[in-house]
Amino acid sequence: MADKDTSSTPNTNTIYSQPHRNQTYSSTNNPPSEEHPRRALRPGLYVPLLAFFSPETEELDESTVAQHAVRMAKAGAMGLITQGTYGEAAHLSHTERARITRTTRHAVAAAGYPQLPVIAGCGAPSTSETLELCQVAFESGAGYALVLPPSTYKAQYTLPRLKAYFEDVAGASPIPVLVYNYPAVTGVDLDAETLASLAGHPNLVGAKLTCNDMGKLNRLVAAVEPATAAERGSGFMCFGGSADATLQTLVGGVCETG
């Protein structure tokens, strides 16, 4: 049986017709400066850091925070994430968040890794508090914000509303934003088409998928042509978010955050 000629058949799946970012655009609302230089995200393994506390006082153990960050940098991490799920984000005050990110930034710079990107978790129930956390992250030395979707009233959120939320955050954040899809925690699951449409925003520079949905991850990769170890692509970064799916993530040609 002869193969069907599809060369003139239009692709009606909109996920594969999303606009790619302009690679010459400075994808941030603040230009790079000596105090806040641009540290590019590069393909590789990004490590979500633990937060450490004194067992006696429950105060932050900044010395151990610093040692842990440097150890991960020396091990070959391409970037570090503070205030992720492993970083006790849900239990930290804004001041504690700032201390952890600042300690991490200073520690890796002093150890000889000044260009290592630091990504800070900045998710909150409201747009205004999320932007406050983005500002705290920026002032503390983080170069990027990792943002969960709001989930307090998740039954009321439609995908268009969630898309508008991320666009509002990205439009006002002082640092570039990565979308964090973690349905097991938030109860909100962003689909590949919504994520691909967000890739067209100049201040939305990546997505982390901690949903173990390899089909979704590969559909997103096909739609946005992300940066990989072999090609720069569109510059948009796609991350798998589970160590259990590291092999599948690498087969898809994208990065891993563990």
Which residues are known to be catalytic? 180, 208
DSSP assignment string, 65-112: HHHHHHHHHHTT-SEEEESSGGGTGGG--HHHHHHHHHHHHHHHHHTT
| DSSP 8-state assignment for residue 50 | P
Distance CA 194, CA 237 (A): 15
Torsion angles phi and psi, residue 81, rounded to 5:
-120, 120
- Residue 159 has a CB neighbour count (10 Å cut-off) of 15
User: By the 8 A CB rule, do 127 and 168 touch?
Assistant: yes
Answer whether 187's CB lies under 8 Å from 154's CB: yes
Cα–Cα distance for residue pair 170/210, rounded to 1 Å: 20
